[in-house]
């Protein structure tokens, strides 16, 4: 016979908030879930960077008709965790090659340097956290079918 405490670990119960929206609980009720969905990826610890690279690896698993659009979609997804990079207008990912785009966290930090009027970027918010910069390395290779294979990952610079 099972104990109630053991059953609580395997049963998912419905939970609703005051708005009436019903949310399913994920994992055990006592919080010892090995997959924690409340991780702050903007901390940029090695585990968080690995999670982001896993997402980029999944994006890289298929060839694209328009790789420029695919990297723009990745740019939007990375913005949700606070990572930002700037695409160059003349950069065409349909051509074979490897590119590194410098990353900034939450757009970098800005401030006055005292010698000029106005504000200018001071740093990328990553180097002072980690001690080094991060970049998005994107490799593109045209395939025989006319599509382009992409490989993207975050690397230290």
> Residue 129 to residues 48, 82, 104, 122, 134: CA-CA distances in angstroms?
14, 14, 11, 14, 11
pLDDT exceeds 70 at position 27: no
Q: Which residue has the higher pLDDT, 126 or 120?
A: 126
Decide: pTM greater than 0.85: no
Q: Over the stretch 10-19, which tens digit does the pLDDT of each residue have?
A: 665 544 444 4
Tell me the pLDDT band of 137, cut-offs 50, 70 and 90.
very high
Q: Over the stretch 47-104, which tens digit does the pLDDT of each residue have?
A: 888 888 888 888 888 888 988 888 898 899 899 888 999 887 777 888 888 989 999 8
pLDDT exceeds 80 at position 150: yes
Contact 46, 129 (CB under 8 A): no
């Amino acid at each position: 016979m099972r104990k109630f405490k053991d059953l609580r670990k395997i049963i998912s119960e419905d939970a609703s908030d005051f708005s009436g929206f019903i949310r399913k609980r994920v994992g055990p009720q006592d919080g010892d879930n090995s997959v924690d969905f409340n991780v702050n990826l903007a901390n940029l610890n090695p585990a968080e960077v690995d999670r982001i690279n896993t997402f980029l690896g999944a994006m890289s698993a298929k060839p694209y008709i328009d790789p420029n659009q695919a990297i723009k979609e990745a740019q939007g997804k990375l913005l949700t965790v606070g990572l930002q990079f700037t695409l160059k207008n003349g950069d065409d990912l349909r051509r074979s090659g490897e590119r590194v785009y410098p990353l900034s966290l939450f757009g970098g930090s800005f401030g006055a340097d005292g010698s000029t009027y106005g504000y200018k970027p001071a740093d990328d918010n990553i180097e002072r956290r980690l001690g080094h910069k991060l970049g998005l390395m994107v490799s593109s290779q045209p395939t025989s079918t006319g599509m382009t294979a992409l490989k993207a990952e975050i690397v230290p610079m």
